Structure 1
Amino acid sequence: MKPSRRLLPPLLALLKFVSGYVLASRAYELHRDEYLYLNYGQHLAWGYLEVPPFTALQSWLTLALGGGWFWVKFWPILWGSLTVLLLGRLVMKLGGGIWAVALASLGYMVAAYARLNFLFQPNSFEVLAFTAASYALVRHLQTHRPGYLYALGATLGLGMLNKYTTLFYGAALGVALLLSPQRHLLVGRHLWGGAALALLLWLPNLGWQLLHGVPFRHHMALLHDSQLVHVSAAGFWKDQLLMCFPVVWVWGAGLLALLLTHQFRRFRAVGWLWVAGLLILTVLHGKSYYSLGYYPVLLPFGAVWLEQWVARRWHPRAWRLALLALPVLTMLPLLPFLFTLYPPAYMRRIGQNYQGLGLTRWEDGLEHVLPQDYADMLGWQELADQVWLVYQTLPAPTRARTLIKCDNYGQAGAINYFNRHRPLPAAHSFNGSYLYWFPARPAQPWPYLLLVEDDEPVGVAAHCQSIRQVGEITNPFARERGTRLFLVTRPDTVLLRRVYAEHRAALAPWEAGLR
């Protein structure tokens, strides 16, 4: 193997890593979800209401390293870079050359993974885990070494510690093997050995779920009723074309080559894996991006097949240059919506050129100035600083006995993150995993409540000495614009009793399995 060919995958992975930091404007803060996941690092456990514990380990390490922006973004950028490395290696294992390595790797970098690998969420590692599992499957089908099946099992076990949608991948893998010439693996002891290893790795989180009444069931019910019920099959499949549009001709060629050509017949299970995975998500009304982990492995097969196809054309060098440039040129007009490259004011000016494409359409179905993800990255430090300033105005002897309660996890997480080096009590919420972190009722009533609400809370004024607005998010681009901060002085026992009754009521559905 030529040294240049061997070095290309790590060089492209390095390009992915560096570009993740370079193509980002510091005009944006962290995303609301990132603040929640970072708070996991201060509450280590084998499970959480939203996801399994792997994200919490990354959060703990991030906070141990100071919790700065670089370290928060380090993890998703790292997982994306390792995915690029795997894709390049797989191309070479399939016999592809330098051009195919470059096409598969660049294809990944210009698709929806550009945004995905910038956010500190479980999704980046999920894509890496699915790609690594598919890589292990391909390598086993090439070499027949049982170790690759145990590597597949270990990868899926780690995937289950990261996100429960790994169950869908496991189900799709079983269907894919059943439909392919590789169905004999289903009766082999090594595949089941790999499955046992996956279960063993997942076992601590599974035990946590059982001990807490299987809150995953309530999470799925809430997700279904609030979001998944609105996902149509037509919308889901439309998004499949749009998410990886710059390289639809690459992954599409890979899928067809896997399912139809004799050349890749022994890898046919990989093609059926995509088909089965997306059909499962369609039936379950899964969100469009749930499928992103199934696409990367198609890119190497498409790149290798296209490389061989180009070699038979006239002027193959011109074909190679044109096809390699096509994904990048297709992506360039969408660059402002893939990376936080430009500040909000500039995004507002150029947004008129993208009307009708749905790029700035939010969950409310309306067009806005910024994409929803971008608006979810603004206003948080403003809120956190206001809380700190108000807290400092309170009498010093009683200041520490202040309850900070927020409407949602983004508010609570942001207050905790930006004040992590200040002597401020932790902010709390009845939203998500914050239900488990709510403090026990103190022996002495809190002299102050700091409430983060959209409007003045109802029924509070009659049960305290005073309530007044002391802050508000004013950033015109923030999704949280208008969120207010209220200071409640001397709440009475009736109000405090109501707070804890609301907490018990909010927690009860999650632990219904314990009753």
Structure 2
Amino acid sequence: MTATRPSVPAFAAVPVYAVAGVVAVVLTALSGRYGYHRDELYFMVAGQHLDWGYVDQPPLTPLIARISTEVFGNTPMGLRVLSTVASAITIVVVALIAREFGSERRGQLLAAICAAVSGFVLGVGHLVSTATYDLLAWMLIALFTIKLLRTTDSRWWLALGLTAGIALENKYLVVLPIGALLIAVLIVGPRSVLRSWWLLAGVAVAGIVALPNVLWQFQHDWPQLTVAGGISEDDGTENRIMFIPLQILQLSPFLVPVWVAGFRRMWRMPWARSVTLAYPLLCVVVLAVGGKSYYALPLLLVLVAAGVEPVLAWRRSVVAVGLALTALTSALFTLPVLPASAVDFVIPVNKEQGEQIGWQEMTTAVADVWNRIPSEQRGSATIFTGNYGEAGALRRFGPSHGLPPAYSGHMSFADWERPPDSNTGPVLLVEQERTPTFEAHFRDCEQVSTIDNIVSNDEDGTALVLCDSPGAPWSTLWPDLRRYY
């Protein structure tokens, strides 16, 4: 089909690229300030075991982590280069979405600035996470969907299919916004875009791109479903309680008037009503399954992009103050601008700040206990950790302390390696919390040290427990030591 609606304004390339460039410079300058996040430590090890899938995720983010460290160096700054690039592109895409809603140069620039100072964009841009690339994919899907609805040109289904297929190789959450958008189109239209062979072509493209990981999950009995079920069971109630407050806080309270204005404006556009309706539909689904609040946040950026046009009519001083406060609070709560010793101030709002601190100190503490083991016993001794962050940190920093590879039964660490059965000597356990049922697999366990971090993160108070030996050969114990969440 051909376009049936007016063409969009010219793209304000120079100012929008300038905003994205400033954010890229800021993220780069701060990228090495604290240290690796626990998930990043896991992704780096996963990147050394490239596969078409892992028990808790598809392969794209570990692949990107591998590429980034190989090209730019195995440092927090080197690891995060491609995340910075992805966030800069996300800002550009938000401006392009504003353009689709008819915004001229000033509106596109304002949309880019709103995205650039939002807490969610800065937070995921600072780290390597599945959410970083998920956000970019969602924004592209939103852009192509809006183009499809605005022009009724069904060929955009191909772009949607390709983007969705790539996104599925990063995280399965992409099915949520696509599902919400399809349901919304069925409810409020325009349904004509669904009556096209291009839709089937797009679905086929998405399926072909996503097929390798789907086959991997099938061959391994769908472990991702086990992981997702465990997360919902553990955190579902808390996620539901905090959903609405975090929708406001994680993007920025100061951007609420912008996305409310965007919601109202889009609802008055008959062709855009389905995109408007998709956000509350998505919120209902996320609440029902007990998902995390950020699962619905990307669609709020679409509402922000639509809301910049009415905001241009507001008093400039009010808008400027709002954006300045947004930038200040977002930087404070999502970027490593505070001294590490002061991070406890922001952890109640953004715990990910604290998860970047203390890994080298933890490794030093583990090394101190390891060195207490008689030298003649270390050859058959084992370091076993309770989670992938601890194991990843010891894999990254342990060699400089003379430590052997650490093992873990957490997530895909359980698949990559297990201790050899010849390791019949002492076992050094790294446990966030001492667990009798866990320690029952080992003989004569005694806590010999405690991790004392400068911040109250998940590893603060972690117990270092020294056991005489495993209770059975590692090959026998291994299935019982596996953890999916």
Q: Could you state the TM-score of these two structures normalised by the residue count of structure 1?
A: 0.82
CA distance in 2, matches of 1:73, 1:501: 39
The 5 A counterparts of 1:85-484 are: 85-113=92-120, 114-232=122-240, 235-244=242-251, 245-260=253-268, 264-307=269-312, 310=313, 319-333=315-329, 335-347=331-343, 351=345, 360-361=347-348, 371-388=350-367, 399=378, 401-419=380-398, 424-439=403-418, 441-442=420-421, 444-454=422-432, 471-479=449-457, 480-484=459-463
Q: Which amino acid aligns with 2:479?
A: R
- Note the aligned Cα RMSD (angstroms): 3.2
Say if 2:117 and 2:330, in contact at 8 Å, map to a contact too: no
Say if 1:157 and 1:199, in contact at 8 Å, map to a contact too: yes
The answer to whether structure 1 residue 36 and structure 2 residue 56 are counterparts is no
SS state of the match for residue 57, structure 2?
A: coil
Name the stretch that deviates more: 198-207 or 402-411.
Answer: 402-411
Per-residue Cα deviation, 1:127-146 (whole angstroms, up to 9, x for no partner): 11111011112223344444
Say if 2:446 and 2:465, in contact at 8 Å, map to a contact too: yes
Q: Which amino acid aligns with 2:44?
A: L
The answer to whether structure 1 residue 52 and structure 2 residue 58 are counterparts is yes
Note closer, same or farther for the CA distance 1:184–1:56 as it changes in structure 2 (3 Å cut): same
Note closer, same or farther for the CA distance 1:146–1:401 as it changes in structure 2 (3 Å cut): farther
Per-residue Cα deviation, 1:69-104 (whole angstroms, up to 9, x for no partner): 112222332221111011223333444233212221
Say if 2:27 and 2:126, in contact at 8 Å, map to a contact too: yes
- Structure 1 residues without counterparts, runs of 5 or longer: 311-315, 352-358, 363-370, 511-515
CA distance in 1, matches of 2:420, 2:413: 15
Per-residue Cα deviation, 1:94-119 (whole angstroms, up to 9, x for no partner): 44233212221121122232222222
Say if 1:111 and 1:246, in contact at 8 Å, map to a contact too: no
Q: Which amino acid aligns with 2:324?
A: V
1:53 deviates by 0.9
Note closer, same or farther for the CA distance 1:259–1:135 as it changes in structure 2 (3 Å cut): same
The 5 A counterparts of 1:497-512 are: 497=473, 499-507=474-482
The answer to whether structure 1 residue 12 and structure 2 residue 24 are counterparts is no
Q: Which amino acid aligns with 1:378?
A: I
CA distance in 1, matches of 2:97, 2:442: 66
Total equivalences in the alignment = 473
Q: Which amino acid aligns with 1:230?
A: E
Say if 2:9 and 2:104, in contact at 8 Å, map to a contact too: no
1:18 deviates by 1.2
Name the stretch that deviates more: 405-414 or 446-455.
Answer: 446-455
1:410 deviates by 1.4
SS state of the match for residue 231, structure 1?
A: helix
CA distance in 2, matches of 1:321, 1:456: 55
Residue of structure 1 equivalent to 2:464: 485
CA distance in 1, matches of 2:152, 2:342: 54
Say if 1:154 and 1:201, in contact at 8 Å, map to a contact too: yes
CA distance in 2, matches of 1:150, 1:176: 20
Say if 1:379 and 1:475, in contact at 8 Å, map to a contact too: yes
CA distance in 2, matches of 1:97, 1:12: 16
1:478 deviates by 4.3
Q: Which amino acid aligns with 2:471?
A: L
CA distance in 2, matches of 1:338, 1:289: 14
SS state of the match for residue 460, structure 2?
A: coil
1:447 deviates by 3.5
- Structure 2 residues without counterparts, runs of 5 or longer: 1-7
Note closer, same or farther for the CA distance 1:463–1:329 as it changes in structure 2 (3 Å cut): closer
Q: Which amino acid aligns with 1:159?
A: A
Residue of structure 1 equivalent to 2:4: none
Say if 1:41 and 1:63, in contact at 8 Å, map to a contact too: no
Say if 2:335 and 2:353, in contact at 8 Å, map to a contact too: no
- Percent identity over the alignment is 25
CA distance in 2, matches of 1:133, 1:4: 19
Say if 1:126 and 1:159, in contact at 8 Å, map to a contact too: yes
Note closer, same or farther for the CA distance 1:53–1:463 as it changes in structure 2 (3 Å cut): closer
SS state of the match for residue 225, structure 1?
A: helix
Per-residue Cα deviation, 1:15-39 (whole angstroms, up to 9, x for no partner): 121122335672x222222212222
1:155 deviates by 0.8
Q: Could you state the TM-score of these two structures normalised by the residue count of structure 2?
A: 0.87
SS state of the match for residue 337, structure 2?
A: coil
Residue of structure 1 equivalent to 2:5: none
1:433 deviates by 1.7
Q: Which amino acid aligns with 1:505?
A: D
* 2:28 maps to which of 21, 25, 50: 21
Say if 1:376 and 1:478, in contact at 8 Å, map to a contact too: no
Note closer, same or farther for the CA distance 1:243–1:467 as it changes in structure 2 (3 Å cut): closer
Say if 1:107 and 1:246, in contact at 8 Å, map to a contact too: no
Per-residue Cα deviation, 1:338-365 (whole angstroms, up to 9, x for no partner): 32211133456xx4xxxxxxx6438xxx
Q: Which amino acid aligns with 1:287?
A: K
Say if 1:110 and 1:246, in contact at 8 Å, map to a contact too: no
CA distance in 1, matches of 2:386, 2:133: 29
CA distance in 2, matches of 1:82, 1:4: 14
Note closer, same or farther for the CA distance 1:400–1:176 as it changes in structure 2 (3 Å cut): farther
* 1:62 maps to which of 68, 83, 88: 68
1:461 deviates by 11
